[in-house]
Structure 1
Amino acid sequence: MGAVDKEMVEDAEDLQVLMARQPIYTKSQDVTAFELLFRDSDGKFVDGLKDKEATLGVLMGAYSSISKSGEVQNVPCFLKVTDSFLLDNEMPDLPRQSFVIEILGHSKISPALIDRVKSLANDGYRLALADYDPTDPRFGPLLNVVHVLKLDIQKLGMKNVQTLVQKLRPFQLELLADKVETKEEFRLCLEMGFELYMGYFLSKPEPVKGRKISGNKVLLIQLLTELQKPNATAQSVEEIALNDPALTFRILKVVNSAAFNLRREITSLSHAIAMLGMDQVRRWVMLFLANSNGDKPDDLTRNMLQRGRMCELLAEMTGRPEPINHFIVGLLSQLDVMMDIEMAELMNQVPLHHDIKTALINRDGSFGEVLQEVEHYERGEFEHLRKMLERHFYEVAYRHSLSWATQVMQALQSAA
């Protein structure tokens, strides 16, 4: 483990919990909240949260922060709770504006639970109900209490959802479409009147036949090609960049931003290379290659950034060679979605090493193995982790990646 990473791990609060977050989107595909996915060291749900002020501090910091329009903001977190957690009266006094209490559909919906939920609503908490089954009368009393109703569109079946939405109208609930897997499903749910959306529909490309990488992305690829040459110099890189002074200015603006704590302003790409080295400049060229031209939601770029950083950290922590290339693999693993070009076709258009390309297409080799590990963690599929490291290190790396991505997004947005 590198010195920076040792310091990062030692300074981080030890939560002893595996925790990830899933975005909840609005109709315009902006992130309005996160659902927290986590298990404690005993594999239990929220039990790891009890009496842990430090955990709450982390949740309200790294796990709820995003950058919007160059400013860091906090959004609410949906917190899944069991009926026993609600009824044992040990629930921490959570800040009302920061958390939405999510009741699980397989809870034992007893009179005591209904009274407890009503009490929480009266105390000012926002409440959500998951796993709703319209054929089960147990849910009836809760529909008049909760604020958000989560509908699993895959389980219910799209053909049944529209009728159900009509029946639920009198309750004036905020409807959340869960397990939205395709852009077409998103469009259908939008037409039905859903306000909130969860699922991986933003992570799948809509390939346009014959589409090529265009605009300043071509120049970024030329820069990347030059940066990968063993005999590349600061001057040869700068000569290419000067073909687009506006892009060069944006790169320098980002490099000079809070993403680096530099003591003196960097005034040219050759100066940046002299100060930071080829690897760091290659990283920033990659970031600009992955950054949207404005036609994709910010959350896609945010996820690409945090995935790239976590891949790099896991590579460093496990002593694998070329951590920077693990970063590149993580970062570009959703470039097909950003460009709406199939990954195999995209790899024909970008000048990357063969092992990076095969990792992106087939999840092969060390790069692909680490990428898969990070993908499992992001989705809360903790049972599928290869356990390359102790549990604690995964959460610390993930949390650090969230904070790093927020910082870089802020820099990218400020430089737009």
Structure 2
Amino acid sequence: MLTTPAGLDADDTLDVLMARQPIYSKNQDIIAFELLFRSANGTDIASIGDDAATLDVITNSYASLSVGKQNQHLPCYIKVTDKILLNDQLPELPPNLFVLEILGRSTITPEFIQKVSDYAKRGYRIVLADYDPSDLRFDPLLNTVHVVKLDIQLLGLANIPSIVQRLRPYQLDLLADKVETKEEFRQCLEIGFSQYQGYFLSRPEPVKGRKIRGNKVILLQMLAELNREGATGDSLEQIAINDAALTYKILKVVNSAAFKTPKEISSLSHAIMLLGMEQMRRWVLLFLTTAQDGTPNALTRNLLVRGRMCELLASMQGYDDSLNFFVVGLLSQIDALFDQAMPDLLEGIPIQKEIKQAILKHEGVLGSVLEEVVHYERGEFNQLSGALPQPYYEVAYRHSLKWSDNVMGTLV
């Protein structure tokens, strides 16, 4: 039986599945998103632009990013086929919001080159994907496109410097694609790329002997106390007051718009009791998933989206204890935050065995929901189990994006 969690509109569905993947700068700031999509009639991009509601969703959810207290709209990269370009099937998308990505399998004809040039003159930035330096067909496009995407796994990292040197006279932005590790990111940085895409932020680089910093130790103590049957506001306060920043964050959460505090808060224990034990457990976990220096980052944002989407999919399917699903998603890449091996890291976190097994091995119902969310965020829509109608996945993902932005503002 399908149920709709509070805050979600079951009718707020689209005829298209969408996910976004970040594109990063040298400083690992998100500067754009690649928009992955599949519409009900296949992959017809016209269905996106011709539907005003869908375009509005893209603008306000998929292209939106909360930075501190500000909302920014970032450009979305979208793949376009030869047919779309040559037959003028591209809808009137705003050039400031959409970047057109030409596929490497395109048939490069004079007509095709002219069409690309026409779109560039209309203000669209053009990306050339799947660039192969040995294929001379691409050369006429290099004077027109703005960004060249290089698949470093396919081309081989050892061959990249000579390719970059060859492209340098064209003064293009170079995007390193499929950057899987932090070491690959560092090498690409030295080579001179300006844009980066891949899962390098979500892969840990375990450092032997690295310890969790003091403020995180206090959070783990708080988590252990919250899992103790006799925990009280006073017992939690005695732990939290050892960290001034944590104390401030708890008071800030209670005083936020989400919790309409009816009267003055008299003490930290009073604030904790107003928040409630379940919400307190949720916020301690959220504080735990900020970066080691205590500030939220791009990986934190992804964990928030995962946690919330796991929780929503579980609620939609009628599973009990949806908070456990939230925990599984939220902690699923915490090893990358702390640069520690996941088994060692989970050993020190007081959570249930089934949660740990779901994170480590995708076991059980908890693990299967996490797997669904991972497939969705990567745009692997054909891998979804079908446990829910497909539009429900998109609604849950979209809601999770917005929710993560709200939480990021509180974590700052």
The aligned residue for residue 204 of structure 2 is 205
The aligned residue for residue 10 of structure 2 is 10
Contact 1:256 1:266 (C-alpha < 8 Å) held by counterparts: no
The aligned residue for residue 410 of structure 1 is 409
User: What letter corresponds to residue 166 of structure 1 in structure 2?
Assistant: Q
With the length of structure 1 as denominator, give the TM-score of the two structures: 0.94
Listed as ranges, the matches of 1:201-350 within 5 Å are 201-258=200-257, 260=258, 262=260, 264=262, 267=265, 268-294=267-293, 298-350=297-349
Residue 265 of structure 1, CA deviation: 6.2
Contact 2:45 2:90 (C-alpha < 8 Å) held by counterparts: no
Contact 1:100 1:125 (C-alpha < 8 Å) held by counterparts: yes
User: What letter corresponds to residue 5 of structure 1 in structure 2?
Assistant: P
* Structure 1 residue matching 2:65: 3-state secondary structure: strand
Contact 1:256 1:265 (C-alpha < 8 Å) held by counterparts: no
User: What letter corresponds to residue 337 of structure 2 in structure 1?
Assistant: M
Kindly tell me: are residues 40 and 86 of structure 1, through their superposed partners in 2, closer, same or farther at Cα, counting changes over 3 Å? same
Tell me whether 1-10 or 164-173 shows the greater mean CA deviation. Answer: 1-10
The aligned residue for residue 379 of structure 1 is 378
Contact 1:70 1:409 (C-alpha < 8 Å) held by counterparts: no
**C-alpha separation between the residues in 2 aligned to 1:199 and 1:180?**
5
Tell me whether 53-62 or 248-257 shows the greater mean CA deviation. Answer: 248-257
Listed as ranges, the matches of 1:9-408 within 5 Å are 9-10=9-10, 12=12, 14-258=13-257, 260=258, 262=260, 264=262, 267=265, 268-294=267-293, 298-408=297-407
**C-alpha separation between the residues in 1 aligned to 2:75 and 2:263?**
37
User: What letter corresponds to residue 260 of structure 2 in structure 1?
Assistant: L
Tell me whether 168-177 or 108-117 shows the greater mean CA deviation. Answer: 108-117
Contact 2:296 2:411 (C-alpha < 8 Å) held by counterparts: no
Contact 1:38 1:45 (C-alpha < 8 Å) held by counterparts: no
**C-alpha separation between the residues in 2 aligned to 1:263 and 1:85?**
54
User: What letter corresponds to residue 339 of structure 1 in structure 2?
Assistant: F
**C-alpha separation between the residues in 2 aligned to 1:65 and 1:264?**
33
User: What letter corresponds to residue 122 of structure 1 in structure 2?
Assistant: K
* Cα displacement string for residues 9-68 of structure 1 (whole angstroms, at most 9, x for unaligned residues): 3362x2211110000000111100000011112332524314111111111111111122
* Structure 1 residue matching 2:31: 3-state secondary structure: strand
Kindly tell me: are residues 248 and 266 of structure 1, through their superposed partners in 2, closer, same or farther at Cα, counting changes over 3 Å? farther
Kindly tell me: are residues 266 and 273 of structure 1, through their superposed partners in 2, closer, same or farther at Cα, counting changes over 3 Å? farther
* Structure 2 residue matching 1:155: 3-state secondary structure: helix
* Cα displacement string for residues 329-348 of structure 1 (whole angstroms, at most 9, x for unaligned residues): 11111111111110000011
* Structure 1 residue matching 2:410: 3-state secondary structure: helix
Tell me whether 172-181 or 40-49 shows the greater mean CA deviation. Answer: 40-49
Contact 2:307 2:327 (C-alpha < 8 Å) held by counterparts: yes
- Please report the RMSD computed on the Cα atoms of aligned residues, expressed in angstroms: 1.9
* Cα displacement string for residues 66-93 of structure 1 (whole angstroms, at most 9, x for unaligned residues): 1223322111111111111122223222
Contact 1:363 1:369 (C-alpha < 8 Å) held by counterparts: yes
Contact 1:266 1:272 (C-alpha < 8 Å) held by counterparts: no
**C-alpha separation between the residues in 2 aligned to 1:270 and 1:248?**
10
**C-alpha separation between the residues in 1 aligned to 2:150 and 2:294?**
28
* Structure 2 residue matching 1:313: 3-state secondary structure: helix
Contact 2:292 2:337 (C-alpha < 8 Å) held by counterparts: no
Kindly tell me: are residues 276 and 295 of structure 1, through their superposed partners in 2, closer, same or farther at Cα, counting changes over 3 Å? closer
Contact 2:46 2:90 (C-alpha < 8 Å) held by counterparts: no
User: What letter corresponds to residue 155 of structure 2 in structure 1?
Assistant: L
**C-alpha separation between the residues in 2 aligned to 1:81 and 1:353?**
46
Contact 1:296 1:338 (C-alpha < 8 Å) held by counterparts: no
Please list every run of 5 or more consecutive structure 1 residues that lacks an aligned counterpart in the other structure: none
Tell me whether 375-384 or 235-244 shows the greater mean CA deviation. Answer: 235-244
* Structure 1 residue matching 2:198: 3-state secondary structure: coil
Residue 250 of structure 1, CA deviation: 1.5
Kindly tell me: are residues 130 and 272 of structure 1, through their superposed partners in 2, closer, same or farther at Cα, counting changes over 3 Å? same
Kindly tell me: are residues 294 and 217 of structure 1, through their superposed partners in 2, closer, same or farther at Cα, counting changes over 3 Å? closer
User: What letter corresponds to residue 26 of structure 1 in structure 2?
Assistant: S
Kindly tell me: are residues 216 and 367 of structure 1, through their superposed partners in 2, closer, same or farther at Cα, counting changes over 3 Å? same
With the length of structure 2 as denominator, give the TM-score of the two structures: 0.95
